[in-house]
Chain A
């Protein structure tokens, strides 16, 4: 029961997708079922995102309540979670039951602050706290790339040499001065990089990798549907 039922559920929800693909949606009952199941999938999938939040809150509250070393930082995490989450969940208008109670206490003009709209607290925190940090993490990569290039891009063998030569060539090609430099070797050199390196070799390799990865993903999907692969089920 504990494993059989999930296997059957996985099989059926997958099968509907597969069979639905081959049927005409206007002509068959299954076409509509497919659409509905997909919708269910997005809804149930949304809940899995919330699981992470629950785990995070649990882990951090434990540290805080036991006053483990550095618990103050975990408290900050908890405060940040709620500061962002709570305003986003408050209803925007007085239409619903909770909303009508809420807006009898606070002015209705505050409504815009809640939810996830353009003027909300949530949107503000995203734009002015979270995104600068996200952009900074990306920006830090520039430093790391430089140091990785220095330490690791060594012409140790043919493969490494090809990698670093192409990288240098593309970096040159993408900046004004480099492009001018490349033209010294012939007016069409930048165009050749475009067509042979980017559209030629690069595209071919991407295609080979795409095909291989797709085969892997398809065979895994097949095994999940058939209940052969169950790593995802975790502990019973």
Chain B
């Protein structure tokens, strides 16, 4: 291994161990890693926005393709920084309002068209027993699950009587679904822990062996 490759591994191992040390107790190494992390992540955004937004979407099209009108979003973006000057901070609301309005417009439609209508439609399943026992049972589970979940999140009436009963079935369904999610997430996190331990044991461990 080259010196640089060794250095990379040791640096990574130091940061990994510094963060893991928090599991035992808060300490200066964790604090150091925490502050490096906060700084790097902010720097990451600068690079990302600078290259993929300001250069690729703003400067290049404006100067290379002559799309001069992009000066307006550029200006709107710059106005955001008015926030840091007390007297002019209200100006930044205009830029913000543009983004918010834009997102809201896209959302309003995409939620109705992309989610609510198709999801409602696919719940209209046939409960006809001639489709076979398993298929009918699955359809029944789906229908009951969707409707009772919706009822659980209905706030305009006290949950008593039929409504209360349905809501109760809803919460049972919800808990089963959360349990399944929990199981899957456990799996994902452990895999990543395994990845880090493999790094420490084999890469860093290998490097230690080579040196000593």
Contact = CB atoms under 8 A, between A and B. Distances in A.
A202 interface: yes
Interface in A1-31: 2-3, 5-7, 9-18, 21
A84 B16 CA distance: 19
Contacts of B42: 52-53, 56-57, 77, 80-81, 84-85
Interface in B38-92: 38-54, 57-58, 70, 72-74, 76-78, 80-81, 83-84, 89-90
| Residue of A37, A47, A53, A145 contacting most chain B CB atoms (<10 Å) | A47
Given A116-B51, A233-B97, A133 B33 contact: yes
B179 A165 contact: yes
Given A202-B176, A232-B96, A145 B49 contact: no
A98 B144 CA distance: 65
Interface string A146-174: 00010000000011101111111111011
A26 B6 CA distance: 58
Contacts of B70: 40, 43
Interface string A62-82: 000000001001101111111
A96 to B, nearest CB: 9
B209 to A, nearest CB: 20
Given A44-B77, A136-B15, A9 B97 contact: yes
A21 to B, nearest CB: 5
Given A76-B35, A129-B11, A221-B104, A47 B95 contact: yes
Interface in A29-43: 37-43
13 contacts: A41-B98, A49-B48, A54-B84, A73-B32, A77-B42, A85-B43, A141-B189, A159-B175, A163-B182, A167-B179, A174-B183, A204-B173, A208-B148
Interface of B: 8, 11-12, 15-16, 19-20, 22-23, 31-33, 35-54, 57-58, 70, 72-74, 76-78, 80-81, 83-84, 89-90, 93-109, 111-113, 115-116, 119-120, 122-123, 134, 137-138, 141-150, 152-153, 170-187, 189-190, 192-193, 195-197, 199
